[in-house]
A and B are shown apart, each in its own frame.
Chain A
Amino acid sequence: MGIKAERVKEILESEKFKTLVKKRITVSITLTVIMLIVYFGFILTIAFNKEFLSIKIGEHLTLGLPIGIGIIIFAWILTGIYINWANKKYDKAVRELRNEVLEN
């Protein structure tokens, strides 16, 4: 691939690359934790506070219904947030770094 070993080391140790990796890990972990909290929060609510999800919001309709459907939509929105961040911010930094590596 014709990339010199010193050049690789230089990039790996550059602030720019380190920030990129750090940022990527922070975003991934944050979104993962949010998803897990929402899901297991839902499961634990069912286990310990069924009454909450059975609260009536219509003649028969319960609060559990919009919450359940809401979690499905929320999961999808989270992937949208990630993809939006990655396409706009992450990919840009990746392109710049790639060019730096491959130019030399």
Chain B
Amino acid sequence: METIQTTLGQVNIASIIIFFSFVAVTLGITYWAAKKTKTTSEFYAADRSISGFQNGLALSGDYMSAASFLGIAGMVSLKGYDGLIYSIGFLVGWPLVMFLIAEPLRNLGKFTFADVVAYRLKQKPVRIASSIGSLMTIIFYLIAQMVGAGSLVNILFGFPYEIAVVIVGIVMMAYVLFGGMLATTWVQIIKAVLLLSGATFLVIMTLSQFGMNPINLFEQAAKKYSDAVLSPGGFVTNPWDAISLGIALILGTAGLPHILMRFFTVPDARQARKSVFVATGFIGYFYILTFVIGFGAMVLVGQDVITSIDKGGNMAALLLAESVGGQFFLGFIAAVAFATILAVVAGLTLSGASTLSHDLYVSVIKKGKTDEAGEVKVAKIATLIIGALAIFLGLVFKGQNVAFMVGLAFAIAASANFPSLLLSIIWKKFTTKGAVASIITGASLAVILIILSPTVWVDIFKNPEALFGLKNPAIISMTASFLMGIIVSLLTEEKDASEKFEDEKLRTYLGIGAE
């Protein structure tokens, strides 16, 4: 047995200093942003002042969660090639966001994707239904992030779990509450730059031990373990499982409310498409880095050391950082991982708050009749509600296995949000009842089937056999959602809506009248 020499879990001074500098700088930005955050357009959409490039960086910041950094690097370090299969699934949703969603979304919407779904349909039922899909996605995603934050900080700094959850909750609430979308965007940008440069540096340090040639690293890994680490292994055993997971990851990306919301921060459709190009490039680059980092950890740290610290391999990237760059670099990467969670949680909270205030309070309860100041006030109260909920859920789910919740969030996004959004953009005959049926079918099937699936029924409830065979329900729930949307729309003609479709084309394709 090799002796483990790591300072993980001890208080790392470098890490604490870097993390608190991040918090100090971002709070400074929040103070600056607060002066420019008075109207609803400023609060929800940074007054559409973000450039395509900046938004691309912010989108990648929103998407590169600690789970994808630590989780995928860990998966690669233990399983090799299989980790790459997983990250490819996360990436290929982005081109689809560009081809199908980004521009019409930007042209038709105002602050939330529900603006687009409800554009020519009856506001009340559609807003309520899409808020349900939105909030479910956000809450499951939030739980996974908050629990991840608590456990990560516990391992990294030795702080108690509860303190970490409360710190994350309060700091992110400060960003959103005072600085709105402008502050949240800059937090994402700074975090994305830190994460990308940290990961790049880690890869350079690692490769310097292999003659700067990644092929040497891969060959070494095969020699140390076996050739199997360079070939697909057990990740895909049941093709239906793999396809279903693929659907959830790809179409889910195109249905994540906090990602969709970012498209309203740019001035026009052209910048919206540019931001996806930039985001796809950075996210793809990042996944290639995590692949190299995973192999680096496999060779330089060793699988038995990695699993002795954390069974799932989540600490692989950090152990590698310590091994190639010492304690200071470990501190840097650890602080970046924590900052990452903070930024993702802020994006989720802003998106949840805008659903509560813009979609439910203003559009449903007030029927669109509020003044600017009133709506901003409600949006801030909604931020407090979602923030408090995030802290509460983080504390309640302590120690629970929440890994499946990210998969569930993606499944709901793919099954409830994406079908209704796409149909409303491309299909003339889509009706109010069709939209509601599609969203409710997708959301409820996704939740019910995942409870009956091996992921929850067997792994969490410890039943001997699952009632539903697939680990991810998207193939069934997404298909059912599209079918229900189409069938119900065909049965319930809505003349008003199909007439408006023609007029809306001017806005969809030419951007005339876009906000």
Contacts and interface: CB of A to CB of B under 8 A. Distances in A.
Interface stretch (B7-15, B63-71, B258-266, B269-277): B269-277
Interface in A7-36: 8, 11-12, 17, 20-21, 24-25, 27-29, 31-32, 35-36
Contacts of A78: 95
A53 B503 contact: no
B235 interface: yes
Given A78-B95, A79-B277, A91 B502 contact: no
Interface string A74-104: 0110111011001100010010011001100
Given A35-B96, A50-B232, A68 B81 contact: yes
B239 A48 contact: yes
A98 B510 contact: yes
Contact of A82 (B92, B99, B503): B99
Given A35-B96, A61-B215, A72-B287, A47 B231 contact: no
Interface string B78-119: 000100110111011011101110000000000000000000
B37 to A, nearest CB: 28
B373 interface: no
Contact of B273 (A12, A86, A98): A86
Nearest to A24: B509
A97 B17 CA distance: 55
B280 A79 contact: yes
A94 B270 CA distance: 11
A39 B250 contact: yes
Given A31-B95, A76-B280, A80-B277, A61 B230 contact: yes
Interface in A31-73: 31-32, 35-36, 38-40, 42-44, 46-48, 50, 53-54, 58-62, 64-65, 68-69, 71-73
Contact of B95 (A24, A43, A48, A79): A79
Interface stretch (B148-156, B218-226, B376-384, B459-467): B218-226
Interface residues on B, range: 35 or more
Interface in B200-227: 215, 218-219, 222-223, 227
A42 B235 CA distance: 13
Contacts of A47: 236, 238-239, 242
B506 A46 contact: no
A65 B85 contact: no
A58 B221 CA distance: 14
A4 B242 CA distance: 52
Given A28-B99, A60-B227, A83 B246 contact: no
B385 interface: no
Nearest to A78: B95
Given A43-B246, A61-B230, A75 B100 contact: no
Given A12-B505, A58-B219, A83 B277 contact: yes
B84 A68 contact: yes
Interface residues on A, range: 35 or more
A12 B230 CA distance: 55
Contact of A65 (B81, B99, B280): B81
Contact of B100 (A28, A38, A42): A28
Contacts of B215: 58, 61
A68 B83 CA distance: 11
Contacts of B238: 47
Q: Which 6 A-B pairs have the closest CB atoms?
A: A60-B222, A47-B239, A54-B231, A28-B99, A46-B236, A72-B284
Given A65-B218, A97-B510, 19 more contacts: A3-B512, A8-B503, A35-B92, A35-B99, A42-B85, A43-B236, A46-B232, A46-B235, A46-B236, A50-B231, A58-B215, A58-B219, A60-B222, A61-B230, A68-B84, A72-B87, A94-B509, A98-B510, A102-B512
8 contacts: A12-B502, A17-B509, A43-B239, A61-B218, A64-B81, A69-B291, A76-B277, A83-B273
